[in-house]
């Protein structure tokens, strides 16, 4: 249950932004994408589980996509629950990553590292959390990382 | 047309791996995911366009997801073409990011930075390329970054 690396690419200044104000403030007029403008600040994430405590160099066991606007989707097994959790807690995902206090897990050190990276409401996100063993991950508080 | 940052998280050693051998070598037996094992090494990417030359701190204008197995999908506008390009060129995406030699663009400096991050065939990927201006991006060789 040790958090080895934890980086939050989202600045706290971004927290109060709604999707519309974030887009309006982006100065994007000169860079209109080929597909037309969206009414939502972009959000697109990859959530992954890596063997070991090295999220960058380790072997990735699972990786799913998650989008939350205009509706939850992606290859995540439960995008509705994951999006609700992210909307409640992002950018600090510890509240949904940490194992439940009542989880009955051993202290065996067989680490797994989860990551959430990509873009959340127009800002880059890079989050990771390392669990002591698979039991701790499968007993995490939220649904976002049980992929 | 200046490449300001370019990081390749994929090691060249990963290039020869097939999906099955990558999975077989992952030592994942003790960390079986809740959803069951996949026959494919995980691939899940977020492709984005950021205003300016700072991919980390800049405002993200567009972000899409891309998955390529078992079939192309995600919110990318042309996942079939993007997956074909990635399968031909990853991890070095310069061949599909660079503007076409015959592109008729001015030299105006109004930079946009594209990124591809997430997981490609079981290995973490982090790629970025900065264009001098939107014209250079919309005239990039491949379809992957015209999102």
Q: Is residue B122 part of a domain?
A: yes
Query: B35-87 pLDDT, tens per residue?
Result: 445 577 889 999 999 999 998 888 999 999 999 988 999 999 999 999 999 99
A124 vs B41, B60, B112: nearest CB: B60
- Residues B27, B45: Cα–Cα separation, whole Å: 23
Between B98 and A23, the more confident residue is B98
Interface check for B70 against chain A (CB to CB < 8 A): the answer is no
Lowest mean pLDDT among A23-27, A40-44, A126-130, B89-93: A23-27
Structural domain range at position A99: 43-138
- Residues B7, B132: Cα–Cα separation, whole Å: 19
The CATH number linked to A69 is 3.30.350.10
Interface check for B62 against chain A (CB to CB < 8 A): the answer is yes
Q: Is residue A55 part of a domain?
A: yes
Q: Is the pTM of this model over 0.80?
A: no
- List chain B residues with CB under 8 Å of A50: 124
ipTM above 0.95, yes or no: no
Q: Is residue A98 part of a domain?
A: yes
A26 pLDDT exceeds 50?
A: no
Interface check for B105 against chain A (CB to CB < 8 A): the answer is no
Average pLDDT over residues A18-23: 34
Q: Is residue A93 part of a domain?
A: yes
Task: Report residue A136: phi and psi, to 5°.
Answer: -65, -40
Q: Indicate the number of domains in chain A.
A: 1
Q: Is residue A49 part of a domain?
A: yes
Q: Is residue B17 part of a domain?
A: no
């Amino acid at each position: 249950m040790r958090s080895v690396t934890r980086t939050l690419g989202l600045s706290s200044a971004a927290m109060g932004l709604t999707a519309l104000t974030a887009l309006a403030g982006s100065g994007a007029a000169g860079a209109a994408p080929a597909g037309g403008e969206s009414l939502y600040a972009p959000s697109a994430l990859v959530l992954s589980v890596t063997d070991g405590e090295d999220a960058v160099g380790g072997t990735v066991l699972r990786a799913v996509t998650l989008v939350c606007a205009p509706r939850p989707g992606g290859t995540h097994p439960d995008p509705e629950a994951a999006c609700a959790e992210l909307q409640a807690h992002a950018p600090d995902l510890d509240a949904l990553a940490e194992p439940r206090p009542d989880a009955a897990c051993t202290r065996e050190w067989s680490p797994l590292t989860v990551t959430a990276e990509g873009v959340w409401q127009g800002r880059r996100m890079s989050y990771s959390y390392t669990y002591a063993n698979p039991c701790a991950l499968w007993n995490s508080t939220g649904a976002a990382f049980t992929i």
